[in-house]
Amino acid sequence: MTRPGKVYLVGAGPGDPGLLTQRAVQLMHECDVVCYDLLIDQAVLAMVPASTRMMAVGYRGYCGTSIEYGMHPDVVEQALAGHTVLRLKAGDPLIFGRATEECRCLTHHGIDYEVVPGISSALGAAAYAGFPLTSNGLASDVTFASGHRASSTLSSWAAMGQSSGTLVLYMGAKKLALHAQRLIQEGKAPATPVAVVAAATCASQRVLSTTLERVGGQIESFDNGDPMLVIMGEVVSLADELDWRKRLPLSNVQVLACTLDQTLTTQCKNLGATVVEAPRVDISYGFSDADWQRLQQAESLWLDSSEAALSLIEETRRRQLDCRQWPWLLRGSESACELLKEYNLIAQCCASADSGEVVISALTVPGALCGRRVEVLEPAFPLSPAALALVDELVVARYLHERGLLAPGALVLSQCEHVCRFLTSVGHQCERVNGQQGLPLPLMVEGKRNAA
Ligand SMILES: C[S@@+](CC[C@H](N)C(=O)[O-])C[C@H]1O[C@@H](n2cnc3c(N)ncnc32)[C@H](O)[C@@H]1O
């Protein structure tokens, strides 16, 4: 009989992969299978080696799924087949993670397990929204409560209404209007500061800062389906003073990194930007069928080099297709565009260098780029000597301008009137060329690079 493999219940933290523990990362590289919750952010899943089997085993609350308590059958099956299984759980596995039922189930099947803690979303949310959970004179205790059911915890609502400590509600957003009403009835001040943190620590984190009496009327329009934590108490108001993230020069800016250069993306992160990797197809070692399939799904391509352009032409020929019928909007580096021209193919040239392209957008929805600005930046710029920057928010334009990084004559193609107005007022030539929302993200196609 096969000896069962071990199951590791591992906390994945709230979303920022930088918040994973070393033990979690080590186990990601050692296990045979990763079984993950639906709440786990893509950026965390991207840390798992491509060769490891991935299985989604979670469920999202509120969706009417009938929930079997206990370990997911796929996890049990994989472990009984002798595999080492990493059961990746959002936040910390021991906080509202049904660890008791899961551990009992594993014991019942004779499967060994180990629990690896993670940063719970409450801790991540407070840190990344810029306020503490306790603070001298404001709150000397903090309560983690489940807001999933409104009625069953009536006794604790009364205590929480009377408490001056901080209250964190997990799974509390859907019934928040009810909870807020009840807490006020139980004695909590209507003006109590409240922060609702959605997708805490992820690239798409959003914060609703409000009060207990107003939050019930605001939550529905704030809810876009991301997981949300509700934090109530006087500590929340300290964000005005302590929020370290909003002081960073590229805070609220999303950077779409079209580069394999990690130092570049790290620099962007250190400046406060959230970095989203551009979808890319690396054809340096030739085209696979899967690569070709992905290209078919893209609406526009960004060709990073003449090699990428040539590979695409050759692959099209190999498949006995006609380049003139390419369905894509083509953009690319100067060398890629030059090469396409030799074949009478027209592409829009976006940057004068083949490497180090970075796209900056101030939008919060990945993939919904609406503005663009093309510029070769000075070597002093922390992003890269040669960068492609898309700017559509005043703060980014101002940041670039203050550091003298906008060359006169820079072309700013932006949806945002303010950027154009600002840049025009400081002597740059601006052109608004696109009024559409949500341009699809171009798919990067990378060709061979020279060893140097
Ligand atoms: C089943 S509980 C799991 C909690 C998890 N074990 C932890 O320690 O964070 C799921 C709830 O956690 C909260 N949550 C988890 N990840 C979150 C995130 N990145 N941002 C905001 N809330 C999150 C939400 O309230 C969500 O409904």
Q: What CATH number is given to the structural domain containing 104?
A: 3.40.1010.10
Please give the torsion angle defined by the CA atoms of residues 21, 26, 28 and 29, in that order, rounded to the nearest 10 degrees: 160
| Residue from 59, 96, 230 whose mutation best tests the ligand 1 pocket (most atoms within 8 A of CB) | 96
Whose C-alpha lies nearest to ligand 1, atom 12?
Answer: 170
Distance 183 CA to ligand 1 centre (A): 21
Question: In this predicted structure, what is the pLDDT of residue 406?
Answer: 55
Question: In this predicted structure, what is the pLDDT of residue 126?
Answer: 98
Residue 451 within any structural domain of the chain: no
With a cut of 60, say whether residue 384 has pLDDT above it.
no
Whose C-alpha lies nearest to ligand 1, atom 15?
Answer: 121
Q: Are 337 and 211 found together in one domain? A: no
pLDDT band at 269 (very low <50, low <70, confident <90, very high): confident
With a cut of 70, say whether residue 437 has pLDDT above it.
no
Q: CATH number, domain at 183? A: 3.30.950.10
Whose C-alpha lies nearest to ligand 1, atom 7?
Answer: 91
Q: Is the CB of 229 under 6 A from ligand 1?
A: yes
Determine phi and psi for 187, rounding to 5 degrees. 115, 0
| Residue from 21, 39, 101, 144 whose mutation best tests the ligand 1 pocket (most atoms within 8 A of CB) | 39
- Let me know: does 332 contact 308? Beta carbons within 8 Å: yes
Burial profile 72-83: b = 16 or more Cβ within 10 angstroms, e = fewer: beebbebbbeeb
Residue 68 is classified by DSSP as P
- Give the pLDDT mean for 378-403: 42
Question: In this predicted structure, what is the pLDDT of residue 350?
Answer: 57
Give the DSSP letter string of 328-393.
Answer: SEEEEEHHHHHHHHHTT---EEEES-SS--EEEE--SSTT-B--EEE-PPPTTSSS-SS------S
Question: In this predicted structure, what is the pLDDT of residue 257?
Answer: 60
Determine phi and psi for 120, rounding to 5 degrees. -70, 150
Burial profile 349-374: b = 16 or more Cβ within 10 angstroms, e = fewer: bbbebbbbbbbbbbbeebeebbbbbb
Q: Is the CB of 17 under 6 A from ligand 1?
A: no
Burial profile 336-347: b = 16 or more Cβ within 10 angstroms, e = fewer: bbebbeeeebeb
- Give the pLDDT mean for 244-252: 77
* Residue carrying structure tokens 């006609």: 322
Q: Is the CB of 111 under 6 A from ligand 1?
A: no
The Cα-based distances of 189 to 147, 232, 235, 240, 287 in angstroms read 19, 11, 14, 20, 63
Which of 212, 242, 272 is a domain's end point? 242
Task: Give the closest residue to 95 by CA, choosing from 202, 168, 26, 196.
Answer: 168
- Give the pLDDT mean for 298-302: 74
Q: Is the CB of 336 under 6 A from ligand 1?
A: no
- Let me know: does 358 contact 269? Beta carbons within 8 Å: no
* Residue carrying structure tokens 């906080």: 95
Q: Are 193 and 98 found together in one domain? A: no
Residue 351 within any structural domain of the chain: yes
The structure tokens listed for 273 are 């930007």
Residue 346 within any structural domain of the chain: yes
Give the position, in ligand 1's atom list, of the atom nearest the Cα of 202. Answer: 19
Q: Are 258 and 235 found together in one domain? A: no
Mapped onto helix, strand or coil, the DSSP state of residue 53 is: strand
Determine phi and psi for 367, rounding to 5 degrees. 90, -10
Taken as a whole, the chain contains a residue count of 452
Q: In the chain, what percentage of residues exceed pLDDT 70?
A: 67
Q: Are 33 and 178 found together in one domain? A: no
- Give the pLDDT mean for 355-369: 34
Q: In the chain, what percentage of residues exceed pLDDT 90?
A: 40
Q: Are 132 and 115 found together in one domain? A: no
Q: Are 278 and 411 found together in one domain? A: yes
- Give the pLDDT mean for 344-370: 45
With a cut of 60, say whether residue 368 has pLDDT above it.
no
Distance 153 CA to ligand 1 centre (A): 19
How many structural domains does the chain have? 3
Q: Is the CB of 147 under 6 A from ligand 1?
A: no
**Ranges 15-29, 121-135, 355-369: which has the least confidence:** 355-369
Q: Is the CB of 227 under 6 A from ligand 1?
A: yes
**Ranges 49-53, 208-212, 272-276, 428-432: which has the least confidence:** 428-432
Give the position, in ligand 1's atom list, of the atom nearest the Cα of 119. Answer: 8
**Ranges 251-255, 345-349, 433-437: which has the least confidence:** 433-437
With a cut of 50, say whether residue 449 has pLDDT above it.
no
Question: In this predicted structure, what is the pLDDT of residue 271?
Answer: 73
Question: In this predicted structure, what is the pLDDT of residue 385?
Answer: 28
Q: Is the CB of 90 under 6 A from ligand 1?
A: yes
What tens digit of pLDDT does each residue of 336-351 get?
888 888 888 877 665 4
Q: Is the CB of 120 under 6 A from ligand 1?
A: yes
Question: In this predicted structure, what is the pLDDT of residue 337?
Answer: 84
Whose C-alpha lies nearest to ligand 1, atom 27?
Answer: 171
The structure tokens listed for 23 are 């033990």
Query: Across the chain, what does the average pLDDT equal?
Result: 76
Residue 403 within any structural domain of the chain: yes
Note down the domain range covering 35: 7-119
Question: In this predicted structure, what is the pLDDT of residue 369?
Answer: 26
Q: Are 401 and 412 found together in one domain? A: yes
Q: Are 40 and 110 found together in one domain? A: yes
Q: Are 335 and 406 found together in one domain? A: yes
Q: Are 258 and 346 found together in one domain? A: yes
Task: Give the closest residue to 88 by CA, choosing from 11, 30, 17.
Answer: 11
